[in-house]
Amino acid sequence: MTGFFDIPSDLQHSWTGLIGLHMREALLPVAAGLLLALPIAQLCGRFRWLYPPVLGMTTVLYAVPSLAFFVVLIDYTGQTELTVMIPLALYSLVVLVPAIVDGVRSVPDETLAAATAMGFGPVRRYLQVQLPIAAPAIIAGLRVATASSISLVSVGALIGNQGALGNLLAAAQKYDRPELAVNAVVTMAVLAILCDVLLVGLRMLLTPWMPRGGTRPKPAARRAEITPEGAVR
Binding mask 93-122 for other proteins (x = CB under 8 A): ---------------x-xxxxxxxxxxxx-
Nearer to other proteins, 17 or 39 (CB): 17
Minimum distance from residue 220 beta carbon to other proteins (Å): 12
CA–CA dist 93, 195 (Å, integer):
18
Minimum distance from residue 39 beta carbon to other proteins (Å): 22
Q: Quick one: which of 51, 167, 220, 224 contacts other proteins (CB under 8 A)?
A: 167
Binding mask 182-221 for other proteins (x = CB under 8 A): x-xx--xxxxxx--x----------xxxxx-------x--
Minimum distance from residue 42 beta carbon to other proteins (Å): 18
When asked if residue 225 is in the footprint of other proteins (CB under 8 A), the reply is yes
* Contact predicate 18/7, CB 8 Å: yes
* Closest of 25, 133, 5 to residue 86, by C-alpha: 25
| Phi and psi at residue 210, to the nearest 5° | -90, 140
CA–CA dist 15, 173 (Å, integer):
17
Minimum distance from residue 156 beta carbon to other proteins (Å): 9
Task: List the helix and strand counts (H, then E) for the chain.
Answer: 10, 0
Q: How many CB atoms lie within 10 A of CB 12?
A: 12
Q: Quick one: which of 59, 86, 105, 202 contacts other proteins (CB under 8 A)?
A: 59
Q: Quick one: which of 42, 58, 92, 162 contacts other proteins (CB under 8 A)?
A: 162
Q: How many residues make contact with other proteins (CB under 8 A)?
A: 105
Q: How many CB atoms lie within 10 A of CB 13?
A: 18
When asked if residue 181 is in the footprint of other proteins (CB under 8 A), the reply is yes
* Nearest 10 degrees: Cα torsion 97, 99, 101, 103: -160
Nearer to other proteins, 49 or 75 (CB): 75
